[in-house]
Amino acid sequence: MSHELEGKVALVTGGAGAIGAAVAAALTRAGAIVVSADKARAAVDAVQAGVHAEELDITSRDDVVRLVTHVVARHGALDILVNAAGVVSFGSAGTLAESEWDRVLDINLKGVFLACQAAMAPMKASGFGRIVNIGSVVGKNAGNARPWRDAGEQAKAGNVAYGVSKAGVHMLTLFLAKELAAHGVTVNAVAPGPIETSMTTGFPDALRELIPAGRMGTPEDVARAVLFLCAPENGFVTGEILDINGGMYCD
């Protein structure tokens, strides 16, 4: 077991989710003190032992600032932020309700902005930081090519709000990477393809045919990549959007 993150303090949002929990577990195994936050503290407790569970609504600036202040006061620093809170959403642009657009952009994009903004002050002050945002292949490829092979596929399979929110996360990552590079803070994202989680249980089997590796990813596939980007020795890797998609989309 590597202890490359011994003494580092990490905050994972969406910690009760499949990917957030896998990331929190990987950071814990690497020796970090991990604060894992989600909509309900009990939900984090239910999936994971060995982390400090906290309650957070990522869309609330007050909540985010309160949590970051609490983490720094209690653990003395905030070294690592992994933004894994998010929601999936379906609907094509022609039919999507405005309220759904607002909901998805609020959680998936504004939430990441608020968390990064709150975390950057303590990171800049200490001269060290690692921020990793969870983007998506859908933020790069504008959705899958015909995974749903029936007449109503666009209405059912389009995920315009989700894809746009994740493209925003990718671009926010690039802006922050430049803004924070001189402060010892790296900002990267991972762009997973379909991962076996509750978010994808309703996806059709035909989706696997679009993945050259012949399988969907696992939360651990994502966690390993996040761990790489959090490593203190990887301080020259910043502004990278790392694909984790079994060859489904390459750029």
Ligand X SMILES: NC(=O)c1ccc[n+]([C@@H]2O[C@H](COP(=O)([O-])OP(=O)(O)OC[C@H]3O[C@@H](n4cnc5c(N)ncnc54)[C@H](O)[C@@H]3O)[C@@H](O)[C@H]2O)c1
From 112, 109, 84, select the one nearest 23 (Cα to Cα). Answer: 84
Query: x/- site string to ligand X, residues 20 to 59, per CB under 6 A?
Result: x-----------------xx----------------xxxx
Out of 5, 10, 12, 19, the only residue in the binding site for ligand X (CB under 6 A) is 19
Out of 84, 157, 180, 248, the only residue in the binding site for ligand X (CB under 6 A) is 84
Paired tokens of 56: 């957070």
Number of H helices, E strands in the chain: 9, 7
Contacts to ligand X from residues 88-107, by CB under 6 A: 107
Alpha-carbon dihedral 51, 53, 59, 63, rounded to 10 degrees: -120
Query: x/- site string to ligand X, residues 56 to 75, per CB under 6 A?
Result: xxxx----------------
From 244, 234, 250, 108, select the one nearest 177 (Cα to Cα). Answer: 234
Residue type, 54: E
Q: Calculate helix-pair angle for 160-180, 111-126, nearest 10 degrees.
A: 20
Is 249 one of the annotated active-site residues of the chain? no
Stretch that binds ligand X, among 69-77, 91-99, 143-151, 197-205 (CB under 6 A): 197-205
Out of 8, 11, 17, 189, the only residue in the binding site for ligand X (CB under 6 A) is 17
Q: What is the contact surface with ligand X in residues (CB under 6 A)?
A: 13-14, 16-20, 38-39, 56-59, 84-87, 107, 134, 136, 192, 194-195, 197-200
> Which residues are the active-site residues?
162
